Amino acid sequence: MLDIKFVRENPEAVKDAARNAQRNRAGNVRVHCDDAGRFLTRMAAENRRCDVLMMDPPRSGSDEKFLRAVCTMAPPRVVYISCNPVTLARDLATLTKLGYKAEGFTPVDMFPHTEH
Protein backbone atom coordinates (compact mmCIF):
# COMPACT_ATOMS: atom_id res chain seq x y z
CA MET A 1 0.00 0.00 0.00
CA LEU A 2 1.21 3.48 -0.84
CA ASP A 3 2.36 5.50 2.19
CA ILE A 4 1.20 9.12 1.99
CA LYS A 5 2.56 11.92 4.15
CA PHE A 6 0.70 15.22 4.43
CA VAL A 7 2.80 18.01 5.93
CA ARG A 8 1.48 21.45 6.79
CA GLU A 9 2.54 24.02 9.33
CA ASN A 10 -1.03 25.18 9.96
CA PRO A 11 -2.59 23.10 12.79
CA GLU A 12 -6.12 23.62 11.43
CA ALA A 13 -5.10 22.30 8.00
CA VAL A 14 -3.53 19.29 9.72
CA LYS A 15 -6.73 18.61 11.70
CA ASP A 16 -8.80 18.88 8.52
CA ALA A 17 -6.48 16.50 6.68
CA ALA A 18 -6.62 13.96 9.51
CA ARG A 19 -10.43 14.13 9.58
CA ASN A 20 -10.59 13.75 5.79
CA ALA A 21 -8.25 10.75 5.86
CA GLN A 22 -10.37 9.15 8.58
CA ARG A 23 -13.66 9.85 6.77
CA ASN A 24 -12.25 8.34 3.60
CA ARG A 25 -10.81 5.34 5.44
CA ALA A 26 -7.35 6.24 4.15
CA GLY A 27 -5.27 4.33 6.69
CA ASN A 28 -2.12 4.92 4.66
CA VAL A 29 -2.13 8.71 5.21
CA ARG A 30 0.17 10.13 7.87
CA VAL A 31 -0.47 13.75 8.81
CA HIS A 32 2.34 15.90 10.23
CA CYS A 33 2.22 19.41 11.67
CA ASP A 34 5.61 20.80 10.69
CA ASP A 35 7.35 23.13 8.29
CA ALA A 36 7.58 21.15 5.04
CA GLY A 37 11.17 22.26 4.44
CA ARG A 38 12.34 21.07 7.86
CA PHE A 39 10.36 17.84 7.50
CA LEU A 40 11.83 17.04 4.10
CA THR A 41 15.34 17.99 5.20
CA ARG A 42 15.04 15.55 8.14
CA MET A 43 13.76 12.81 5.82
CA ALA A 44 16.68 13.38 3.46
CA ALA A 45 19.18 13.36 6.36
CA GLU A 46 17.70 10.03 7.54
CA ASN A 47 18.24 8.66 4.00
CA ARG A 48 14.49 8.11 3.56
CA ARG A 49 13.07 8.08 0.05
CA CYS A 50 9.76 8.55 -1.72
CA ASP A 51 8.48 7.62 -5.17
CA VAL A 52 6.50 10.80 -5.84
CA LEU A 53 6.82 14.15 -4.12
CA MET A 54 3.91 16.54 -4.50
CA MET A 55 4.73 20.06 -3.45
CA ASP A 56 2.47 23.08 -3.18
CA PRO A 57 4.64 25.93 -1.87
CA PRO A 58 3.36 29.40 -0.94
CA ARG A 59 3.32 32.17 -3.53
CA SER A 60 6.92 32.97 -2.59
CA GLY A 61 7.94 29.51 -3.82
CA SER A 62 10.37 27.08 -2.24
CA ASP A 63 13.75 27.90 -0.81
CA GLU A 64 16.97 26.37 -2.09
CA LYS A 65 17.43 24.29 1.09
CA PHE A 66 14.08 22.57 0.48
CA LEU A 67 14.85 22.02 -3.21
CA ARG A 68 18.25 20.53 -2.33
CA ALA A 69 16.51 18.17 0.13
CA VAL A 70 14.18 17.13 -2.71
CA CYS A 71 17.20 16.28 -4.84
CA THR A 72 18.90 14.44 -1.96
CA MET A 73 15.83 12.24 -1.61
CA ALA A 74 15.79 11.89 -5.41
CA PRO A 75 12.16 10.91 -5.99
CA PRO A 76 11.67 9.74 -9.58
CA ARG A 77 8.76 12.17 -9.97
CA VAL A 78 8.13 15.62 -8.49
CA VAL A 79 4.73 17.24 -8.98
CA TYR A 80 4.94 20.99 -8.41
CA ILE A 81 1.67 22.85 -7.87
CA SER A 82 2.06 26.60 -8.17
CA CYS A 83 -0.10 29.69 -8.16
CA ASN A 84 2.81 31.95 -9.10
CA PRO A 85 4.49 31.37 -12.48
CA VAL A 86 7.45 33.58 -11.54
CA THR A 87 8.47 31.53 -8.50
CA LEU A 88 7.61 28.31 -10.37
CA ALA A 89 10.11 29.28 -13.10
CA ARG A 90 12.74 30.16 -10.51
CA ASP A 91 12.29 26.88 -8.61
CA LEU A 92 12.24 24.83 -11.81
CA ALA A 93 15.52 26.46 -12.83
CA THR A 94 17.02 25.37 -9.49
CA LEU A 95 15.64 21.83 -9.82
CA THR A 96 17.00 21.66 -13.37
CA LYS A 97 20.46 22.71 -12.19
CA LEU A 98 20.24 19.96 -9.57
CA GLY A 99 19.47 17.27 -12.16
CA TYR A 100 15.71 17.24 -12.73
CA LYS A 101 13.99 17.78 -16.07
CA ALA A 102 10.60 19.44 -16.52
CA GLU A 103 8.49 17.11 -18.63
CA GLY A 104 5.10 18.73 -18.78
CA PHE A 105 2.82 21.46 -17.61
CA THR A 106 -0.92 21.68 -17.09
CA PRO A 107 -2.07 25.27 -16.59
CA VAL A 108 -5.35 25.72 -14.74
CA ASP A 109 -7.15 29.02 -14.38
CA MET A 110 -7.92 29.15 -10.68
CA PHE A 111 -9.60 32.55 -11.01
CA PRO A 112 -11.87 32.29 -14.05
CA HIS A 113 -13.85 35.31 -15.14
CA THR A 114 -11.65 37.69 -13.13
CA GLU A 115 -8.86 40.04 -14.11
CA HIS A 116 -6.29 37.69 -12.54
Q: Which residues contact 89 (CB under 8 A, 6 or more apart)?
A: none
b/e burial code for range 4-42 (CB count within 10 A of at least 16 → b):
ebbbbeeeeebeebeeebeeeeeeebebebeebbebbbe
- Predicted local distance difference test score (pLDDT) of residue 94: 93
Percent of the chain as helix, strand, coil, to the nearest 5: 40, 15, 45
Segment 74-94, tens digit of pLDDT: 899 999 999 888 999 999 999
Active site residues: 83
- Predicted local distance difference test score (pLDDT) of residue 111: 80
pTM: 0.80
Segment 14-60, tens digit of pLDDT: 999 999 999 999 988 899 999 888 898 898 889 888 888 999 888 89
pLDDT of 2 over the 90 cut:
no
- Predicted local distance difference test score (pLDDT) of residue 116: 66
Number of H helices, E strands in the chain: 4, 4
